[in-house]
Amino acid sequence: MAKREYFDGALAPLFKWAGCIPVNRDGFDAAAVRRAIKILKRGGAVGIFPEGTRSKDGRLHKAEAGVGLLAAMSGAPVVPACIVGTDRIMQHGGFLPKLRIMYGEPMHFTGDKRDKEQLAAFSQEIMAHIAAMREEIEKIS
């Protein structure tokens, strides 16, 4: 999933080729959510930043409920991923910095998909796992 603005710029063909789902981040984008759920129900994968965007300062931020909603509505597991170094993309004239990535064990939403508090709690649980992975990455770096 990628913000809709990326589909209007010079890199638009790359985002389209990669199969990215354009997301209008001004509000709830029901069409993007439906498209993601359809992909997940077919057994595909959807990448999403739980915070709703990549971190520009390198710190973890509060998760939005969207990742929990996608897991609840599709029944798909969430594989938490910790990506360290995204805050340095496009700095100092370089395109891609050295990224460190760690994946966690799949997580399943088991609550009531109509309960916003449970969806938010699941999203925060995912962020807790990402925070633990970040600590582990920093220990070995």
What own/partner pairs with CB < 8 Å and gap ≥ 24 does 137-140 have? 137/82, 137/84, 137/100, 137/102, 138/84
pLDDT digits (tens, 9 = 90+) for 110-128: 999 999 999 999 999 999 9
Mean pLDDT (whole number) for 74-101: 80
pLDDT digits (tens, 9 = 90+) for 15-66: 999 999 999 988 889 999 999 999 999 999 999 989 888 777 778 888 888 8
Flag whether pLDDT at 93 surpasses 80.
no
pTM for the full model?
0.84
The structure tokens 């910790």 sit at 82
Q: Would you give the distance in Å from CA 53 to the centre of its chain?
A: 7
